[in-house]
Amino acid sequence: MSGFPILSLMLAVPLLGALACLFLEAKAARSVALVATLVDFVLGVILWMNFDIGGAQWQFTERVGVFSGFSYALGIDGIALLLVMLSVFLMPICIGASRSIEKRVGEYMAAFLLVEVFMLGVFMAQDLYLFYMFFEAGLIPMYLIIGIWGGADRIYASYKFFLYTLLGSVLMLVAMLWMVHTAGTSDIPTLMAYDFDPSVQNWLWLAFFASFAVKMPMWPVHTWLPAAHVQAPTGGSVILAGVLLKMGGYGFIRFSLPMFPEASAYFAPLVWGLSMAAVVITSLIALVQSDMKKLIAYSSVAHMAIVTIGLFAFNTQGLEGSMLVMLSHGLVAGALFLCVGVIYDRLHTREISRYGGLAINMPRYALFFLLFTMASIGLPGTSGFVGEFLSLGGIYQVSTGAALICTTGIILGAAYMLYLYRRVVFGEQKNADAAAMPDLDVRELLMVVPLGLAVLWMGVYPESFIAPMRADIAALDARLARAKPAGDSAPTIGKAKPAHEEAAAHEGSH
Amino acid sequence: MDWSHSLRLIAPEETLSIAGLVLLLISAWGGDKASRLISILAVAVLVGAAALVAPALCGGAMGPDTSAFFGQFRADAFASYAKILIYLSAAATLVIAPAFFGRLGAMRAEFPVLVIFATLGMGIMVSASDLLTLYIGLEMNSLAAYVLAAFLRTDGRSAEAGLKYFVLGALASGILLFGMSLTYGFTGTTSFSGINAAVAGGLSHGALFGIIFMLAGLAFKISAVPFHMWTPDVYEGAPAPVTMFFASAPKVAALGLTMRVLLDAFGDQAQAWQQIVVFLALASIVVGAVGAIGQNNIKRLMAYSSINNVGFMLVGLAAATPQGAAAMLFYLTIYVAMTLGGFVAILMLKDAEGNQVEEIAKLAGLSRTRPGIALGLAVVMFSLAGIPPLFGFWGKFLVFQAAVDAGMMPLAAIGFAASVIGAFYYLKVVKVMYFDEPADVVKGESDVWHKLILTVSCVFISPLGYLLTKWLGGLSGTAATALFFAS
């Protein structure tokens, strides 16, 4: 496939779809959007099949110098490939989940397809400024999606989402300007190998942190997320949780860690502290929510904290673990929002207490909801387990304390998810209208079955997902090696005993 | 340095002045019936003048050959770049004005003539290389502009705007003259190159005060904080096409003039005025953003937006580098496109009787009743807010890049952070148009010229504009080089 601009094609398909949707009737717009996202998914599969594992670090590169000041440069490595796949996999599902949207369908579909263009652009960009443009541009369609099609409190949520993330990003842009001025290039692969002066790194790291921490979102700048999630329509929530949150983690892994290794090590305790706080605090907050979407939103913050803790463990295990948590959370949180959307479409409330006993009238729904609940908790065999285990294992090598506190997140996670599941699906059927709800129809099954299969695939055979990124993670780990903080749990497992002791022990046994 | 050479260099100005006088005669004999014909002729003259200045820009004219009348006037690539923007804005004003005034029965033959003379004055401003030329150009523009502000004689607000503009403008001119006289007194010359040579050894206190007073006067003309108070009132009161004119062409001229004075005459004493410009820039960004939040009238909002944008452009000036000057010119180009697009969209907002709708609340749900206008206005708003991928981002990006490259990190960081405040009120307009239930007030039809200008400017500020970055970047770079070559 060398030479064929498949990445540009993947950006062009939804873009053209978006323009077409603006001028189409509701029904036609739905079809166009679905076709465009499915075509993009097929292209994504072709991309994955042609991705040469163990080959060059950057593949499918394209570079066209049509602009002054920055270049249109695309290319992916294994890390980007996986996130691109996640995006194109979730998009058709989001379009399918938008059946309940009745007003201004054409504009809705156009906004969604634009979100897809910008998300993919973020993961594909090989130029710092191009990355920034895609990164920011996603704000406009998301703002419109939340503001036009959102719930009752949508205006406040849309403002909060927009201004919060914008403020974080502009500081990053100033840092980018300085970096390009100093390094003399805006090419991301070159910058990833460029050694900035350690004294300046701290400032640059903080500027990038301001942006990525908000996008992630990390405690205490996470407050936009529950507002945005709760108010967004189902499709919006899925894409927000599924992919947009991954931009922060991708930013850390692509920029903060390789470009500022010393600063990352210097600020690692800060990240650990915030992550520990996030895991415990947001899990406890999730425990007392009476709104289903809010509960899952807070659980997202807790899961993202596991991602950051793994990223700043400075070892292969932690990095691979966080990538897997990101992928798994993309699938699972997306699926959970979908499950909420399914019953919201029927009863038009997200109050947990309005439901109950759904296992009786919606057995298929109960089955899938259970699968995703377990995956969210991190049950072995589901995708959640692999990533969380690796992340926590990674951080354990560096800080036992952080590992201890973050692991409580798994327990608390089990508590709030099982509590949610019990209240919604088990128990008696208190409400007649909830008891009369029909089970999943074919359209809904078509959405949840692929998600369920992907969750199980990632849980049973994670190698498919680790293989493409293994070389890239190893390269990143090598880059971080010089700044790696000393671990407090210096692993001794498997260390051979000194020879004479072994000999003495050997003799003693006789 | 002979007369014929000088006269060749000022060919665009000659064209405009002769055409202005001829059109004045036509209007004197033809009366208001001829206003349509005069408008068409005036646009043709502006296009012709643009054709006359274009070669200097494309050819990158600079150096002694571009100096006319013994250093009074300079027709280099910088002046040409600014002039093309000015002519463009003036032509756009003339194209859309007849529909607006015609409905009120107020279209008079003098309008195109006044615009032509104001344009002539602005052309002289950006070409000035002597304090006296500067003043002549400035006053020529201002006198025409005062009349234009009060053009709608039956409307009390328009008369008020004209009077306010006149009184405050005269005061600013006085301050500027005072600064010029101080500069002359302490440097012994009025020519920019002479001043540059005289202050080469260091600034005397008197000359420093000269700069300060001149900057105060110029800050009034570009409506930078703290000399911005007239702007919202004049923008609100003046007829909408005139407001569009004020927000575009004189901004280009006054900023070009400020660049000439600071980078040419005082180019080697940058540290003396840099901090003043930094203050003007940050104050304009913040006050422009905060002041706009409480506005209910869309024209007042655009006034604060222009204050805000001038602040961003001054960031490029504060860098005091050719890169900064080029960034300013690029920003000005984008700004002119955004302003034209924005005001044309505002002009298209008419209720059932054809009256202008200026209240932001009445735009509610515009995206459903008038999707085209709403989309155009939303593009302009997001672009003014500087959100990528719209082209407005690129202007901000360039000026801040210049500031960072000049080592002014704090200025860039504060300026960018303050731009988030600005985003709030731009979002408010989008929110009213897209999120609220339709108020269904806007019903009037617009003529094809409005739609055309709105479409063209929206395409320019859409992501497609980035395809022009190489070309425009090259031109603005040439223009900035010419400016620095002169000093």
| Residue B163: per-residue pLDDT | 92
pLDDT digits (tens, 9 = 90+) for B308-320: 999 999 999 999 8
Of A137, A159, A178, the CB nearest to B389: A137
d(CA A65, CA A382): 45
Query: Taking phi first (over 0 means left), then psi (-120 to 50 degrees means alpha), and beta for anything else, what does residue B314 get?
Result: alpha
B466 pLDDT band (50/70/90 cuts)?
confident
| Residue A432: per-residue pLDDT | 80
- Least confident interval from A123-127, A300-304, A349-353, B26-30: A349-353
Of A140, A143, A170, the CB nearest to B417: A170
A509 pLDDT band (50/70/90 cuts)?
very low
| A217-226, B39-48, B411-420, B464-473: range with highest mean pLDDT | B39-48
| Residue B112: per-residue pLDDT | 92
d(CA A416, CA A286): 6
| Residue B116: per-residue pLDDT | 94
Q: How far is B412 from chain A (nearest CA, A)?
A: 7
Across the interface, whether the CB atoms of A159 and B434 are under 8 A apart is answered no
Interface of A with B in 51-90 (CB under 8 A): 66-69
B185 pLDDT band (50/70/90 cuts)?
very high
B443 pLDDT band (50/70/90 cuts)?
confident
Q: How far is B18 from chain A (nearest CA, A)?
A: 40
Mean pLDDT for all residues in chain A: 85
Across the interface, whether the CB atoms of A132 and B368 are under 8 A apart is answered no
Bridge-based pairing state of the strands B67-68 and A72-76: unpaired
Across the interface, whether the CB atoms of A170 and B470 are under 8 A apart is answered no
A508 pLDDT band (50/70/90 cuts)?
very low
A50 pLDDT band (50/70/90 cuts)?
confident
d(CA A382, CA A368): 13
Among B377, B435, B469, B475, the strongest candidate for a mutation testing the A interface, having the largest count of A CBs within 10 A, is B435
Beta carbons of A302 and A286 less than 8 angstroms apart: yes
Look up residue B96 and give its two tokens.
């859309």
Across the interface, whether the CB atoms of B409 and A173 are under 8 A apart is answered no
Mean pLDDT calculated for residue range A172-198: 87
Across the interface, whether the CB atoms of B467 and A66 are under 8 A apart is answered yes
Q: In chain A, which residue's Cα lies nearest the Cα of B390?
A: A137
| Percentage of chain A lying above the pLDDT 90 cut | 10
> Is any Cβ of chain B less than 8 angstroms from the Cβ of A16?
no
Q: How far is A147 from chain B (nearest CA, A)?
A: 6
Chain B residues whose beta carbon lies within 8 Å of the beta carbon of residue A177: 400-401, 404-405, 412
Among A162, A202, A206, the strongest candidate for a mutation testing the B interface, having the largest count of B CBs within 10 A, is A162
Of B382, B470, B474, the CB nearest to A140: B382
State yes or no: pLDDT of A120 exceeds 60. yes
Q: In chain B, which residue's Cα lies nearest the Cα of A207?
A: B413
Look up residue A444 and give its two tokens.
């809904």
Q: In chain B, which residue's Cα lies nearest the Cα of A136?
A: B388
For the range A365-369, what are the long-range contacts, defined as Cβ-Cβ under 8 Å and sequence gap of 24 or more? A365/A339, A365/A425, A365/A439, A365/A440, A366/A425, A368/A335, A368/A339, A368/A440, A368/A448, A368/A452, A369/A339, A369/A421, A369/A424, A369/A425
Find how far residue B75's CA is from the centre of its chain. 19
Chain B residues whose beta carbon lies within 8 Å of the beta carbon of residue A170: 416-417, 419-420
Q: How far is A201 from chain B (nearest CA, A)?
A: 15
pLDDT digits (tens, 9 = 90+) for A208-265: 998 888 888 888 888 888 888 887 788 888 888 888 888 888 999 988 888 888 888 8
Q: How far is B84 from chain A (nearest CA, A)?
A: 22
Mean pLDDT calculated for residue range A430-434: 79
Mean pLDDT calculated for residue range B166-182: 92
pLDDT digits (tens, 9 = 90+) for A265-314: 889 889 999 999 989 999 999 889 888 888 888 988 888 999 999 988 88
Mean pLDDT calculated for residue range A376-400: 88
Q: What is the largest CA-CA distance in chain A?
A: 88
| Residue A504: per-residue pLDDT | 52
Site of tokens 């409330």: A349
Across the interface, whether the CB atoms of A174 and B419 are under 8 A apart is answered no
Across the interface, whether the CB atoms of A136 and B427 are under 8 A apart is answered no
Amino acid type, B23: L
> Is any Cβ of chain B less than 8 angstroms from the Cβ of A154?
yes
Mean pLDDT calculated for residue range A188-213: 87
Across the interface, whether the CB atoms of A166 and B389 are under 8 A apart is answered no
Look up residue A455 and give its two tokens.
């969750």
Beta carbons of A126 and A46 less than 8 angstroms apart: no
Chain A residues whose beta carbon lies within 8 Å of the beta carbon of residue B413: 171, 174
Chain B residues whose beta carbon lies within 8 Å of the beta carbon of residue A144: 434
d(CA B192, CA B130): 5
A500 pLDDT band (50/70/90 cuts)?
low
Q: Is A222 helix (H, G, I), strand (E, B) or coil?
A: coil
| Residue A495: per-residue pLDDT | 58
DSSP string across A238-283: HHIIIIITHHHHHHIIIIIHHH-HHHHHHHHHHHHHHHHHHHHHHH
pLDDT digits (tens, 9 = 90+) for A324-356: 999 999 999 989 988 888 888 888 888 888 888
> Is any Cβ of chain B less than 8 angstroms from the Cβ of A136?
yes
| Residue B364: per-residue pLDDT | 86
B176 pLDDT band (50/70/90 cuts)?
very high
Look up residue A361 and give its two tokens.
């009238």
d(CA B303, CA B202): 38
Q: What is this structure's pTM? A: 0.90
Q: In chain A, which residue's Cα lies nearest the Cα of B466?
A: A67
Beta carbons of B100 and B27 less than 8 angstroms apart: no
Amino acid type, A208: F
d(CA B168, CA B99): 30
Angle between helices A6-22 and A78-96 (to 10 degrees): 20
Beta carbons of B251 and B288 less than 8 angstroms apart: no
Task: Work out the number of other CB atoms within 10 angstroms of the CB of residue A61.
Answer: 16
Mean pLDDT for all residues in chain B: 89
DSSP string across A160-200: HHHHHHHHHHHHHHHHHHHHHHHHS--BHHHHHT----HHH
B132 pLDDT band (50/70/90 cuts)?
very high
Of A68, A167, A173, the CB nearest to B469: A68
pLDDT digits (tens, 9 = 90+) for B55-113: 888 888 887 788 888 888 888 899 999 999 999 999 999 999 888 888 888 788 889 99
Q: In chain B, which residue's Cα lies nearest the Cα of A135?
A: B388
- Chain B residues at the A interface, defined by Cβ less than 8 Å, are 367-368, 382, 387-389, 393-394, 397-398, 400-401, 404-405, 409, 412-413, 416-417, 419-420, 423-424, 427, 430-431, 434-435, 466-467, 469-470, 473-474
Mean pLDDT calculated for residue range A53-69: 83
pLDDT digits (tens, 9 = 90+) for B268-296: 888 888 989 999 999 999 999 888 888 88
Look up residue A497 and give its two tokens.
């005993």
Across the interface, whether the CB atoms of B420 and A167 are under 8 A apart is answered yes
| Residue A1: per-residue pLDDT | 44
Q: How far is A200 from chain B (nearest CA, A)?
A: 12
Across the interface, whether the CB atoms of A155 and B469 are under 8 A apart is answered no
Closest CA to A111 of B343, B367, B442: B367
Chain B residues whose beta carbon lies within 8 Å of the beta carbon of residue A158: 431, 435
Across the interface, whether the CB atoms of B397 and A139 are under 8 A apart is answered no
| B372-381, B419-428, B431-440: range with highest mean pLDDT | B372-381
Q: Where are the alpha helices (DSSP H) in A357-490?
A: 358-361, 363-377, 383-398, 400-425, 432-435, 442-460, 463-480
